[in-house]
A and B are shown apart, each in its own frame.
Chain A
Amino acid sequence: MAWILRVRDLQKFYGPVRAVDGVSFDVSAGTIFALLGPNGAGKTTTVEILEGLRTPDAGEIWLFGEKVDRIGPSQKARMGVLLQEGAFEPYLRVREVLALFAAFFPRSAEPDELLSLVGLRDKARALVKNLSGGQKQRLALATALLNDPELLFLDEPTAGLDPQARRHIWDILQNLRARGNTVFLTTHHMEEAETLSDWVCIMDHGRIIAEGGPKDLISRFGPATFVEFELPGELFSALSAGFPERVRQDGERAILHVEDLGADMAALFSWAAERGVTLANVTLRQPNLEDVFLSLTGRRLRD
């Protein structure tokens, strides 16, 4: 598949801090690409370089088939951007914000259509300051879509949103991909990357530590199956002793890495019965990108 964006050895340092430390990847046209990593991994710095908001210290960027030294107006006219910490003038109305942004582009979509698309049609006359967090994020998405962008950068697009609002945005992004738009997503939300993306780059401490399709990454780095259940904290070390190097604690919950489902479950229930422990809220789940990140770094994405 043809790439729309190619990055090679991108670097950005702030004094001794290597925010982006030699990052390389390709983004294929018509796909959803996710840059996944914990806060502070360098995702936002990377994406802001690609949006033309920061200048890199080193590295090469090819965008829309051309090598570019600096992301300028002609590239920006073909891109859509949703910033992690972007904001709009609080005393403008929703439709006025769209009209303002539409004026920045050579051509733009009909604002009312976009408002319908993001579910803000009935808020067209509302002042930005009176919108909820989710509504502001949907407005941000609408402004990012105004110029029908070939490449859409979304930096943590669902951060702080409730599950329903998050699903709504996911639906929109999937529809965009179906229309042939390319989406570059940065997120620390593993479910988002896993559900939406065709290709995931996992980033940590300014570097890409793994990349591939989400299923591929999970099968490459993630263990087979997990059993999760509630367990009082004082019993955790006893469980660890019973299942060495296969148990980890997540708050009130224990997570057991299962290799042979039948045998391991039988062993777990007998361990519990011997101690008179009732295993509550037992769930069986497949591994995910969170587990991949954990196995690669020993840390969790949200730490």
Chain B
Amino acid sequence: MKALLALAQSSVLVSLRERESLFWFWIFPVLLLALLGTVFGRVERGEIELHMVLANTDPGPLGQALAQAFQAWAMGAGLVLHFQILTDPQNPEDLFARARTAVEEGQVHAALLIPGDFSAKLWANGQARVQILYRRGEAGASTAASILSEFVEEFGRSYLTGKGTLAESLSVEMRAVGGEAQRVRYVEFLLPGVILMALFINGLFSTPSVIVLAKEAGILRRYFATPLSGSRYLLGFALGTFFTSAIQVAILLAFGWLAFGVRLPLLRLGSLGYLLLSFATFLGLGFLISALSRTYRAAMALANLVNLPLQFLGGLYFPVADLPDALRWVMAANPLTHLAEGFRGSLGLLTPAFPLWANLLVPLLWLSGSVFLAALRIRLTEVG
């Protein structure tokens, strides 16, 4: 135990002192979180496109004009904004109820309701009021509601004023509805992905670079001329990597909280379990790469080869559902996909697309396969 702790302590000290690892393993994950969080942090996951609906119950010309303006605007608005017009003059109440349900169930972000007396009130110079419904507690919905509100105001300025009707008599009522379960912000979705990325980099690059370099330099030969065994060295190394990974996770959590206000409920058995499984899976991959590589250059080349498909097709930064079909098999076999899904699922950030057993089994298969092959192939000294 004394040797394990001493090795672990050395490993932490080295990773804190060495300039290259200082950047890649301590600073880079925070930078990545800051960058992606800042660029995409204001919208919600999958809600860069906004959906809106208009329900018009006004039989008069002004309601129709507003609906037509809405339709014209919708056609010019491009791909980001989606509009739909609901019409059913026979059952105005039913129309409003449908629009409200669409908002509450998250089918659309916001709805614009034009009351039946809209034209009549405006002609009489009375106060006409349209209603905008949006989903409660959802940034995308409030953005959609603001867009609709601006649209109505613009309609008032450019259309009603031209018709001699006082634009001031048009008012907008904003109402938040539904949305009991707050939807996930992108930063909340991102942070667990960046945490896994940090563990992944630590396992995939740091592990073989330390082990293979130590082997090349003769550091391991010196260790093994003492009573220290190869398996105890690897255990001590794993313990050190565990400590550095724990510090990394803590730094990322603190940064996510301070910079973006994200607080992940990490102290759950499932979440900690997925973190531990991720750590072990990535470390196993690192051991395998160390076992297969004679030189540092070969180790880094192999790590890069593994890194590209696994990291970027693992759904760490963006939802995997957006991948083209041809790459779905890579995704399904990728331990990162399952670890990211399982981890986010355990944090209540999404409902996993894969069943629980798959999210556990695939990483476990990778872990046991890597450790088995590494144990067969690893030569910590050039013992001959």
A-to-B contact residues, CB < 8 Å: 14, 51-55, 73-74, 76-77, 79, 81, 83, 85-89, 91-92, 96, 99-106, 127, 140, 143, 147, 153
Contact = CB atoms under 8 A, between A and B. Distances in A.
A85 B215 CA distance: 11
A81 B14 contact: no
A43 B323 CA distance: 60
Interface stretch (B2-10, B107-115, B298-306, B335-343): B2-10
Contacts of B223: 104
B158 interface: no
23 contacts: A52-B225, A53-B221, A54-B384, A55-B383, A76-B225, A76-B227, A77-B226, A81-B226, A83-B222, A85-B218, A86-B221, A86-B225, A87-B217, A92-B14, A103-B3, A103-B5, A103-B6, A103-B7, A104-B3, A104-B6, A104-B226, A104-B228, A147-B226
B210 to A, nearest CB: 9
Interface string B11-38: 0011001100000000000000000000
Given A53-B225, A85-B218, A89-B10, 12 more contacts: A51-B225, A52-B224, A53-B383, A76-B227, A77-B226, A81-B222, A81-B226, A83-B221, A85-B221, A86-B222, A87-B222, A100-B9
B219 A100 contact: no
Contacts of B227: 73-74, 76-77, 104-106
A105 B224 CA distance: 12
Interface string B186-225: 0000000000000000000000000000100111011111
In the A-B complex, the 8 residue pairs with the closest CB atoms: A103-B6, A73-B227, A81-B225, A86-B222, A104-B226, A91-B17, A87-B217, A87-B218
A99 to B, nearest CB: 7
Interface residues of B, number: 27
B18 to A, nearest CB: 5
A51 B383 CA distance: 11
Nearest to A12: B384
Nearest to B216: A87
Contacts, number: 81
B68 interface: no
Contacts of A102: 6
B225 A54 contact: no
B226 A89 contact: no
A74 B14 CA distance: 29
B3 A73 contact: no
Contacts of A77: 226-227
A102 to B, nearest CB: 8
Q: Which of B6, B229, B384 counts the most A-chain CB atoms under 10 A from its CB?
A: B384
A179 B221 CA distance: 28
B10 A100 contact: yes
A272 to B, nearest CB: 51
Contact of A96 (B13, B224, B229): B13
Contacts of B383: 53-55
B143 interface: no
B384 A76 contact: no
B31 to A, nearest CB: 23
B381 interface: yes
A92 B384 contact: no
B259 to A, nearest CB: 30
Contacts of A127: 17
B216 to A, nearest CB: 9
Nearest to B236: A103
Interface in B360-384: 381, 383-384
B228 A53 contact: no
A143 B222 contact: yes
Contacts of A51: 225
A86 B218 contact: yes
Nearest to B2: A103
A90 to B, nearest CB: 8
Contacts of A81: 222, 225-226
Contacts of A55: 383-384
A54 B383 CA distance: 5
B195 to A, nearest CB: 26
> Which residue among B9, B13, B227, B383 has the maximum number of chain A CB atoms within 10 Å of its CB?
B227
